[in-house]
Each structure stands twice: as structure tokens, then as C-alpha cells.
Amino acid sequence: MSHPFETLTPDLVLDAVESIGFLSDARVLALNSYENRVYQVGIEESEPLIAKFYRPDRWTDAAILEEHSFTAELAECEVPVVAPLIHNGKTLFEHSGFRFTLFPRRGGRAPEPGNLDQLYRLGQLLGRLHAVGATRPFEHREALAVDNFGHASLATLLEGNFVPKSLLPAFESVARDLLKRVEAIYASTPHKTIRLHGDCHPGNMMCRDEVFHIVDLDDCRMGPAVQDLWMMLAGDRHERLGQLAELMDGYNEFHDFDPRELALIEPLRALRLLHYSAWLARRWDDPAFPRSFPWFGQERYWGDQILALREQMAALDEEPLKLF
């Protein structure tokens, strides 16, 4: 069966952009994106635009527009973020069955791992994001929870026969044990859910002219604040403690962080491990995925995953990071 994105040709991309009134110069550059399709489109006598075509059937229109509304809210509060362009009063458009959004082009570089000065500034930025995010909930976007990121992910992997039979008992056993521990920690850890970036890895925090700005809120959702913070940390425990201190010094200037949420870092890492494998499984019918992730179907990948889940089980038993 053909995949819907197979019909998203360069000509269709140009036609979509021109259908709402922009005149292209016929230059189209595909950018690195798997969940959606993103292109740089040249515009006559103007700066290029970034056209993002949403994966069919993933989000409802209401959920996409809620992402756009959140981004606009952040921009209105002067939080540096790349917001969708508003054209004729709209941010979401449709052409030939594809929904798409246009963005201004913004370049930049990702943070340097372990750079304490940058972590302080990233903390300030994330504190400002969460100060806005905590003012009201999402209505149309899902929350990050053990059920959807953990149990549903495991069900996808088991029911789809993605795990080699020789490794299936070991994988299922460690995954189920891991989820039991994650559920127990979640239940015993006080936390609030707020509107988050949701996928806040360093590649989504870009620096340009010494100013960091936030990109790609496609995965924004409700969840604990620490979800947007833990992926900023790298290295061994001692290094992460120093990095956390700098991150929190900046963060707490704009939004109060509940240090009890630090106990959720390793459970959230566990959920991300399972969710990532399930994401690959759910997208395996997209021809771009077997080409880009050929190792996913190999026995070695699943052996490595079993080891990673066992290591994560041990990490859950370690003392959580603390602020001093």
C-alpha cells in the first residue's frame, strides 16, 4: 500500500504555498523531519518560508490549532519562539488533502552539552515557557501519562510482532516490570501537570545571535514540568548535579519548580525509551522509516533495548537528583 506522503511531491508543495497567495521561485528544499514533512520554499523577492505538512490522521484540527494558539500566546509574552505565520487571519491551511502551516525561516545552533552558562539561560527560557504554560490547560491535546507512553507503547510492540520471538520473553518481562516501578513512583510523587513543549531535547532549543529560541511545538502536551528539563542534562551523576543547579537557578527566576518532581526524571526516561520504539513501529509503513532506521528490525536492536531497559530499572532504584 502506498503511504499518503508519497503524493507530497515538490510540485504539490509549491502549489500548496501558492494556493494561499505566495509566489514561489520554484526552489524547494526538504528539511530533516520524519513525523511530518518540512520544506524550505523560496519566495519571489522575499525570504524563504518553511512549510510544514502535518502527518495525516495524527492530530485533529482542534489539536493543531491549540498548538498554534499556545505558540502565539508565548510570543505575545515575549518568549522567544518560532510561531506560525498568520495569513488572512489563519495559521492552518489545506491543499489536496494535506494540512500545512507556514513559518518564518530561523536558523541557529543547538546548545553545547554541559555548557553551564547556556544551561542557565535555557533555564530562564524554560521558566518563562512554563510560567505561560501553567496559566491554563490544553483542551484538545493528550497528556503525558504512563498509560499512553508506557502501556500503549508496549502493546504496540507486542501486538505488532516487532520483537523477535527469541527475545520476546525477556523484552516483555523487563518492560512490564519497569512499568510497574514507573507506576509506583508516579503514584507516590506529588506533581502538577501544565502545558509543556513535550519534546524538549537540545535540538529544539536553537541559539541565534546569542539568543535561544524554542522551535517545534508539534508534541506539546500536558505533563509535569520536569519533562521539559531532564533532557537538558548530560553526563554522569556529578556532572548532572552541577548542570541541574545552573538550569534551576535560571528557571526559578520566572517560575517556581517543585523539587519533588526530580524523582520523575528516571521514570520519564523509561517512558521515552518505550515510546520511541513504539513510534518507530507505528510509522513503519512510511517508506522513510525503513530507509532511515534499518536497524529497527534487527535482533541486535532488541537485544540492546533489553539491556537499556534493565539498566533503566536499576536507575529507578538510585537516589533521585537533588538541588543543593
Cβ proximity of 147 and 268 under 8 Å: no
What residues contact residue 147 under an 8 Å CB cut-off, 6+ apart? none
Write the burial class of residue 147 (CB in 10 Å: 0-12 exposed, 13-18 middle, 19+ buried): exposed
25 among known catalytic residues: no
36 known ligand binder: no
Among residues 199, 209, 236, 256, the one annotated as catalytic is 199
What DSSP character marks residue 109? Answer: B
Among residues 216, 249, 256, 258, the one annotated as catalytic is 216
Sequence-distant contacts of 28-33: CB under 8 A, at least 24 apart: none
CA separation for the pair 241, 247 (Å, rounded): 10
Q: Which of 227, 205, 207 is nearest to 216 (CA)?
A: 205
Q: Which of 236, 264, 272 is nearest to 114 (CA)?
A: 236
What residues contact residue 258 under an 8 Å CB cut-off, 6+ apart? 190, 191, 192, 225
15 known ligand binder: no
What DSSP character marks residue 148? Answer: I
Cβ proximity of 272 and 153 under 8 Å: no
199 among known catalytic residues: yes
Cβ proximity of 14 and 102 under 8 Å: no
Give binding residues for Mg(2+) as ranges: 204, 216
Give binding residues as ranges: 204, 216
- Just list the catalytic residues: 199, 216
